[in-house]
Structure 1
Amino acid sequence: MSLAQEKNASAEPDVHYVGKESMTGGQDHLKDDIESVDSDHKQHGVKKVEAVTTVWSDKMLWIVFALLYLVSFVDVLLQSVQGNLVPYVTSEFQQHGLLATTSIVSSILGGVITPTIAKITDIRGRTEGFLYMLLLIVIGMIMKATCQNVETYAAAQTFYWVGHTGLLYIITIMISDMTSLRNRMIMISINSTPLIASTFAGPKIAELFLNNLNFRWAFGAFTIILVAFSLPVILILYLTEAKAKKQGLIQPRLKTRSVAASLKYYFIQFDVVGLLLLTAGWSLLLLPFSLVSSALNGWESATVICMIVFGVVTLGLFVVWERFFATVSLFPYKFLKDPTVLGASFAYGIMFLSIFVWDTYYYSYLQVAHFQDIASAGYILNTFSLTSAIVSPIISVFIRYTGQFKWPTIVVGIPFILLGTGLLIHFRTPGTSVGYLVMCQFFNGVGTSFIATCGQLAVMAAVSHQEIAMALAFFSLCGSIGAAIGMAIAGGLWTNLLRNAIYDNLPAVSKDLTDTIYADMRMQLFYENGDPIRMAIIDAYGDVQRKMVITGAAFVPLLLITVLMWRNINVKEKRQTVGNVW
């Protein structure tokens, strides 16, 4: 695609607003929508999927959705199982304190890589993107099953997390291709309901593997299961594309470039330089917060200072590269000027930032301070996602009949987040009944479901079909960066405060055990309730956890500012997709 074509493809879409002239002249607006949908500047992957949706029947539409649902089910269940096993993996290598660190780089890369995934799906096709993400998950899970040190596990987590987030992202894009704006969030939220089952099944499966086998068998088994459920999706999509090609709806791509020219083309299209600068910049900036406690001289360490300085400089270079040198930008600049796309994406990022500050070590806290077993701790923790999975379809039905998503988020969503996070400051103490903790998880689950559901729809409603993949990539990037910042803050608080808190609370005769206790959660769980050492550990956990919740709560008011930036787009009045769609 030439630069001129790219500018045309990223032109402002025809969007209809509540309370403006969109309430009249329906035929003119329908014509405008069709013209927007039928743009001549769509990339090959978008044209392929639109051709596919014109040839499949209603029955095939439901079959594809059902298969995607099963893949999502297995993937979410795997995420729940491995999430409950992570503290034991890091403890296996005496590095429990690095729980946040192992996730920071993977979270950053998982978000930063989404523009590349978006371009793969737009240029090559949805099926190819789905296959590539599955391959990354398989590589990561095999590495996890065979890792012998925390460094290998961190690398495996990066492969897995990029594949996991990418797979769910592509499934979301595929469902977007299959639905109208009005019904889209209903189908996307239905596809998220496997969280309901994984909330209960994941922790129990993790406990069974850990007690009867080990975490390696869990990773290996789920790798095979995920591949088995994914293959039918890939097969049907390829067969449907072949049918569309046979009918002449998909034109074959002429191979006019050499291998070297193709490499140069994709190097430019995927903005590899920008991708590397953005990933390196955020990683260098955030990792020191969780690594500083192990560095010589702490914050005065030359290594820590250099990482922060180089991180800032690298992010500066990214801005310069994108502004003056990138032939194809990582993101269209129109996204940075669109208040709806920018506000929704920032709201998603701030939401994750606030959550991960207090959530990253929550699982460990429940086991150590509240004497919960693996399954029970997982149930309490997953009440959050369970609530979100139940509430999201209800929100989506409301949107389907009203077309509104902005004001419900302000009136209902944000107050629930304020309530849930604010109450945690009071209830996140070792002596609190776990029922109150479950209640706070419920409140936060309700509130965040509004941000996630309505924010995602706001981004998609503000752009054309051609731009959905890239707009969702920007949305996902902001969420991943927000999560990474939250984990960095959590890791910084944990590694800089917990060891000292344990040392201060331990009896004088046991202070030499500080490093051993801090590094291994299994050692923390070894001591019985009432043992002076266990009580010292619990007091240390309670002190640090309270500070983490206060820090996370401080970011919640920013959500209101970002949501107020959204335009009040009525999704009942905008047509975006073509073919046989819901």
Structure 2
Amino acid sequence: MSIFSPPPAQYSVRVGRIRSQITMAAISKVESHTSGARDVEKDVVRAQPATEFPEDSKTDLDDDSTHVQEGVKRVEAITAVWSRKSLWSTFALLWLVCFVSSLLASIDTALSPYVTSSFSRHGLLAVINIAARVIGGVVTLSIGKLIDIRGRMEGFVGSLFLITIGMIMKATCQNVETYAAAQVFTWVGKVALGFIISVFVADITTLKNRMIIFAINSTPNIATTFAGPKIAELFYTRVNFRWAFGAFTIILIVVSLPVVFILYYHEMKAKKLGVLRPKSGRTRWQSTVHYIIEFDVVGAILISGGFTLITLPFSLVSSASHSWQSASIIVMIVMGVVGLVAFVAWERYFARVKFFPFEFLKDRTFLGAVLSHFVVFMTTFIWDAYYSSYLQVVQALSISIANYVLNAYSLTSYFTGPFIALYIRYTGHVKYPALIAVPIYLLGTALLIYFRVPGANVGYLTMCQVLVGFGAGMINQMAQLATMACVRHQDVAVALAIYGLFGSVGSSVGYAVAGGIWTNILPVKLYEFLPDDAKNMTATIYGDINQQMKYPIGNPIRDAVIAAYGDVMRKMVIVGSALIPLTIICVAVWRNINVKKLEAMEKRARGNVF
């Protein structure tokens, strides 16, 4: 789920200095008011020879308070004044928020083909997601900066607001343009919510225990994988998709309010005890100018616009009057490249606070981790973008059953997550499990080339999803932890934001490739395979999934649609499989990090954490 420029990474172990964020006077007050709180002044590391922690050492050792952002100070103050009971209550409430958020996302995904089809624009599924995912990834950097400057609570509330706006727009949309805008709001809010929860979990856990809570927070997906599609089907068949969006948005807000209350209560308590300093004293105008500079609005616009303009033409080209020779397509690509070049120039010469911390990418482990996340998302969404539609049209599955098969990918990842987290907890290894996972991911994707054909047994498709989910889940889990292990605690938010950005851009590239294949090949294949007396129906069938399933299997028109789907989907899987070996290179450059050793080097007093 930052735009300031952090200090360069340092890998030497600095062990002679132990600093405290909270004064002894504040600690005495905290101890007198907080039952069960640990002594946050306790030294958690002893002097060790630098040779004991070779290249593993992260840029941690937060012993300079001048570099600590206000949002980080706030969360450290909260963990200093809350009790063990509050800590575990927060874990439970965050799990509940993750459950409802995952359920809403599952319902949304299952209904998306029918929403676009209601406007006869089924083929725009990929186009809509390209812009949403690019913007979502870029905005995460701004959100990372926001929660570092202002606080986790403000970011949490802001993400709920974006989801609410997006879902209201979806529930009331009357055209595909409004739905596309709503998808941007919804996706940005969903990404922001998950990102902020991840950052907050990182704030209240130690490095070796962190993936345990991350994995537990992902377990709701095991239930929502089955519940979401079925609920979506019931709403679609008995009510309509609009009520589904509205109902579960309200539920999400209700379950999120207790988390906001806990954060607000303990922040006020920290202020009362003198742990937090008073506000800066800036005027409203001074604060406005300050945040415009801090958020680097120009940089955010340039990078998001650049990526969007480069990836969109792949899906839009089939509708342009002159295909790739169309002036609009050429202008979009040129402007996208210009936007990215301008972004680099702006960051290099003009930005007072840099939007993107390029210094982090000098660390080969950090760079390899985020690139592996990019490649996994890119290769997955090349063949996954229209998979739900394929299962319903070609395999004649219902909305719920089709999404059960589709979600076997994520189900496997979420089910195995806690076991992988326990492995990390007790061994500390990160690199070797990721290397083992890459061949499994490649095997699952490559088998789809053989099994994703008309008439194939659905069980084999599910088996492939399980293999892909296990491999991709392990790679992403290790990559996320490697990313956090390379930075200090105060930089975790921006590290996770960069990690999320690479994933979002990777998925948008995957959607762009999928959209390009779909929009350029499927209409041609439909026209080729349809009977002569039905060729005039090509555009209608292409634009509406309901028209594609209108005729029973065995009817010449339905068989033509199935043949066209089979041809296009095979090409998608081949392209996705061919790019997976890039993941091996990305993982191979990681240092052999052991997070158990890294945790011993953490010097910042972080209060009552797990």
In the TM superposition, structure 1's runs of 4+ consecutive aligned residues that sit over 3 Å from their partners are 6-11, 13-16, 29-35
Residue 467 (structure 1) aligned with residue 491 (structure 2): yes
* Aligned match for 1:452, one of 476, 485, 505: 476
Amino acid aligned to 2:609 = V
Q: Secondary structure at the match of 2:468?
A: helix
Aligned to 1:435: 459
Counterparts of 1:9 and 1:558, CA distance in 2: 30
Residue 354 (structure 1) aligned with residue 373 (structure 2): no
Amino acid aligned to 2:91 = F
Counterparts of 1:444 and 1:506, CA distance in 2: 34
Shift of 1:322: 1.2
Residue 85 (structure 1) aligned with residue 111 (structure 2): yes
Aligned to 2:562: 538
Aligned to 1:572: 596
Matches within 5 A, 1:134-533: 134-256=160-282, 258-411=283-436, 413-533=437-557
Shift in CA distance, 562/11, structure 1 to aligned 2, threshold 3 Å: closer
Counterparts of 2:348 and 2:416, CA distance in 1: 41
Shift in CA distance, 463/14, structure 1 to aligned 2, threshold 3 Å: farther
Worse-superposed segment, 229-238 or 570-579? 570-579
Residue 560 (structure 1) aligned with residue 558 (structure 2): no
User: Does the aligned pair in 2 maintain the 1:145–1:217 contact within 8 Å?
Assistant: yes
User: Does the aligned pair in 1 maintain the 2:409–2:468 contact within 8 Å?
Assistant: yes
Counterparts of 1:29 and 1:81, CA distance in 2: 52
Q: Secondary structure at the match of 2:46?
A: helix
Shift of 1:13: 5.8
Shift in CA distance, 34/319, structure 1 to aligned 2, threshold 3 Å: closer
Counterparts of 2:309 and 2:153, CA distance in 1: 34
User: Does the aligned pair in 2 maintain the 1:175–1:184 contact within 8 Å?
Assistant: yes
Corresponding pairs, count: 568
Counterparts of 1:38 and 1:404, CA distance in 2: 26
User: Does the aligned pair in 2 maintain the 1:322–1:330 contact within 8 Å?
Assistant: yes
Counterparts of 1:53 and 1:511, CA distance in 2: 66
Counterparts of 2:550 and 2:246, CA distance in 1: 28
Counterparts of 2:61 and 2:441, CA distance in 1: 37
Shift in CA distance, 33/320, structure 1 to aligned 2, threshold 3 Å: closer
Counterparts of 1:164 and 1:7, CA distance in 2: 26
Aligned to 1:19: none
Counterparts of 1:512 and 1:7, CA distance in 2: 58
TM-score (normalised: structure 2): 0.91
Shift of 1:7: 6.5
Shift of 1:248: 1.0
Shift in CA distance, 478/242, structure 1 to aligned 2, threshold 3 Å: same
Unmatched segments (≥5 aa) in structure 2: 15-44, 51-56
User: Does the aligned pair in 2 maintain the 1:494–1:544 contact within 8 Å?
Assistant: yes
Between structures 1 and 2, the one with greater helix share: 1
Identity of aligned residues (%): 54
Worse-superposed segment, 308-317 or 208-217? 308-317
Counterparts of 1:553 and 1:227, CA distance in 2: 40
Shift of 1:39: 2.9
1:503-542 Cα distance to aligned partner (Å, 9 max, x none): 0000111101100000000000100110000000000000
User: Does the aligned pair in 2 maintain the 1:57–1:580 contact within 8 Å?
Assistant: yes
Aligned to 1:116: 142
Shift in CA distance, 35/558, structure 1 to aligned 2, threshold 3 Å: closer
Counterparts of 2:175 and 2:191, CA distance in 1: 24
Unmatched segments (≥5 aa) in structure 1: 17-25
Q: Secondary structure at the match of 2:321?
A: coil
User: Does the aligned pair in 2 maintain the 1:383–1:441 contact within 8 Å?
Assistant: yes
Amino acid aligned to 1:79 = A
Shift of 1:34: 12
Counterparts of 2:258 and 2:480, CA distance in 1: 28
User: Does the aligned pair in 1 maintain the 2:8–2:360 contact within 8 Å?
Assistant: no
